[in-house]
Amino acid sequence: MQYNWNWGVLLQEPYLGWLISGVGWTIAVASAAWVIAFTLGSVVGVARTLPNRWARGVATAYVELLRNVPLLVQLFIWYFVVPELLPDDWGRWVKRDLPLPEYTTAVIGLGFYTASRVAEQVRSGIESISRGQSMAGYASGLTTLQLYRYVLLPVAFRVIVPPLTSEFLTIFKNSSLALTIGVLELTAQSRQITEYTFQGFEAFTAATVMYVVITLTVTAGMSLVERRARIPGFIAKGG
Amino acid sequence: MAFDFGVIFDSLPFLAEGLALSFLLTLLAAAGGIVLAVILALMRLSGYTALALISAAYVNFFRSMPLILVIFWFFFLVPLLIGRPVGGFYSALIAFTLFEAAYYSEIIRAGIQSVSRGQVAAGYATGLTYGQTMRFIVLPQAFRNMTPVLLTQGIVLFQDTSLVFVVALRDFMTATTIVARNEGRLIEMYLFAAAVYFVICFSGSLYVRRLQGKFAR
């Protein structure tokens, strides 16, 4: 194998700057998408357990649709197709005036996709609570809203911290798909450095190390959350 | 705006070739991944600290990497190691096999652990060796328990093969994009791609659900 090692390339400008900005975009895409994923995913997940048949149907359709189409296809649809299908005025606005179009599209696409996965975790969290709790809630005169607010959700969200952690890690990894619509996040930057310098080993190693650091940081942070959220007497389920 | 779905019919043979490559990549990577994953899972459960650590490090390492980065790695590495270009397909196959093995091994490990310890003890008591106990007693039961989960992971893998798009290997996704760009029909082609993936993956997951029902009985 012939290869000219040059680790110094990683510390040269502009390549060091590229890597740092890549990490920044990865974090920016993943965390903004997580806000959508967690909010929408909680709503959809709750809707899948409601007594109302229509709410359940819509939520189930959402989850099945988004889980069975590859994320890459979904991103392309958000980026290339949706602006064309919107009413003319909106479409024109999206194409002309949308701030940071690639970033925004990536966040929306990744957020909506991950929401379908979060929804499944929320649903299974709610379903893991014994039916007796719901019955007791209704018997003591709670409305459905109160039942979720005071009985089901406080337990469900604490039970699903471990699987949500792995979804949160997945969103960082999946944010690399944003490069297909032109967001220069970490993976894209490492490839760009490879193309400019032919130092693929160094560039991809740098990206790999950063992803491992992100994973370790998130895992450490979430294990704190997990410890605080643990319910005495419940066996923690692995994610 | 006028839609023209005729463009899909005209390019069907080309798209079908792409889909065939997606399926081939899925099958080969799943087969290779499962073989490697069984080895990793057995190492993890072997009781030898060194083997267990190597296996855990492998799994955790690949599980913290995005698949696209792994694909880029092997497109860069494989030709360098072999000393000549081998074509994108083999690089992708190696990347997917090694990457999926990490995920499969966690499933298989859980499957092996789902077989009760009494079975292993009974195997040893009747004079079987470790290899025979695994081969004839534990693994057949473990695989039966985890077939639904393995198939679900196979569906995920099939969706993931669309990522070879980033290195322009001509799978279904890349073929769709080529037609979309040549004909200027992005809307029709991407909606079609979504429909095809959805039909395949959704029927797959319905089948898995039926299997689960059968096994649960």
- Please check whether residue B24 lies inside any domain of the structure: yes
Look-up of token digits 């290195």: B167
pLDDT for residue A97: 84
Domain of A141 in residue numbering reads as 7-229
Name the residue of chain A whose CA is nearest to B79's CA.
A1
B105-164 pLDDT, tens digit per residue, is 999 999 999 998 899 999 999 999 999 999 999 999 999 889 999 999 999 999 999 999
In whole angstroms, give the CA distance from residue A110 to residue A97.
21
Q: In the predicted model, what is the mean pLDDT of residues A130-136? A: 92
**Residue A237 reports pLDDT greater than 50:** no
What total number of domains does chain B contain? 1
Domain of B185 in residue numbering reads as 6-64+96-216
> Is the Cβ of B93 closer than 8 Å to some Cβ of chain A?
no
Across A45-49, A94-98, B42-46, least confident range = A94-98
- Please check whether residue B69 lies inside any domain of the structure: no
In this structure, the number of other CB atoms found within 10 A of the CB of residue B140 comes to: 12
* CATH number, domain containing residue B108: 1.10.3720.10
Q: What is the distance, to the nearest Å, from the Cα of residue B163 to the centroid of all Cα atoms in its chain?
A: 12
- Please check whether residue B137 lies inside any domain of the structure: yes
Does residue A210 or residue B4 have the better pLDDT?
Answer: A210
Nearest-Cα distance to chain B for A83, in Å, is: 10
Q: Is A233 left (phi over 0), alpha (psi -120 to 50) or beta?
A: left
pLDDT for residue A232: 79
- Please check whether residue A1 lies inside any domain of the structure: no
CA trace torsion B5, B6, B7, B10 (10° rounding)? 140
> Is the Cβ of A64 closer than 8 Å to some Cβ of chain B?
yes
In whole angstroms, give the CA distance from residue A187 to residue A183.
10
End-to-end Cα, chain A, rounded Å: 41
Q: Which two tokens stand for residue A28?
A: 């920016």
**Residue A235 reports pLDDT greater than 60:** no
Strand, helix or coil at B3? coil
- Please check whether residue A234 lies inside any domain of the structure: no
- Please check whether residue A235 lies inside any domain of the structure: no
Q: What is the 3-state secondary structure (H, E, C) of chain A?
A: CCCCCCHHHHHCCCHHHHHHHHHHHHHHHHHHHHHHHHHHHHHHHHHCCCCCHHHHHHHHHHHHHHHCCCHHHHHHHHHHHHHHHCCHHHHHHHHHHCCCHHHHHHHHHHHHHHHHHHHHHHHHHHHCCCHHHHHHHHHCCCCHHHHHHHHHHHHHHHHCHHHHHHHHHHHHHHHHHHHHHCCCCHHHHHHHHHHHHCCHHHHHHHHHHHHHHHHHHHHHHHHHHHHHHCCCCCCCCCC
Q: Which two tokens stand for residue B14?
A: 């080309």
A36-84 pLDDT, tens digit per residue, is 999 999 999 999 999 999 999 999 999 999 999 999 999 999 999 999 8
- Please check whether residue B85 lies inside any domain of the structure: no
Q: In the predicted model, what is the mean pLDDT of residues A213-236? A: 85
Name the residue of chain B whose CA is nearest to A214's CA.
B64
Q: Which two tokens stand for residue A140?
A: 């003591």
- Cα–Cα distances (Å) from B15 to A34, B12, B19, B28, in that order, read 34, 5, 6, 20
Angle at which helix A186-197 crosses helix B67-82, to 10 degrees, equals 20
In this prediction the ipTM stands at: 0.91
Look-up of token digits 């400008």: A13
pLDDT for residue A96: 82
Cβ–Cβ gap B166/A64 under 8 Å? no
What total number of domains does chain A contain? 1
pLDDT for residue A239: 40
Nearest-Cα distance to chain B for A214, in Å, is: 9
Does residue B83 or residue B44 have the better pLDDT?
Answer: B44
Which A residues 185-204 touch B at CB under 8 Å?
187, 190-191, 194, 200-201, 204
pLDDT for residue B213: 83
End-to-end Cα, chain B, rounded Å: 53
- Please check whether residue A239 lies inside any domain of the structure: no
B67-93 pLDDT, tens digit per residue, is 999 999 999 888 888 887 777 899 999
* CATH number, domain containing residue A128: 1.10.3720.10
Phi, psi angle pair for A182, to nearest 5°: 100, 15
pLDDT for residue A89: 86
**What's the pLDDT band for A238 if we cut at 50, 70, 90?**
very low
Candidates A68, A80, A85; nearest CB to B205: A68
- Please check whether residue A2 lies inside any domain of the structure: no
Nearest-Cα distance to chain B for A140, in Å, is: 35
Task: Report chain A residues whose CB lies below 8 A from the CB of B18.
Answer: none
pLDDT for residue B83: 81
- Please check whether residue B36 lies inside any domain of the structure: yes
Cβ–Cβ gap A208/B73 under 8 Å? yes
A161-189 pLDDT, tens digit per residue, is 999 999 999 999 999 999 999 999 999 99
Task: Report chain B residues whose CB lies below 8 A from the CB of A172.
Answer: 66
**What's the pLDDT band for B1 if we cut at 50, 70, 90?**
low
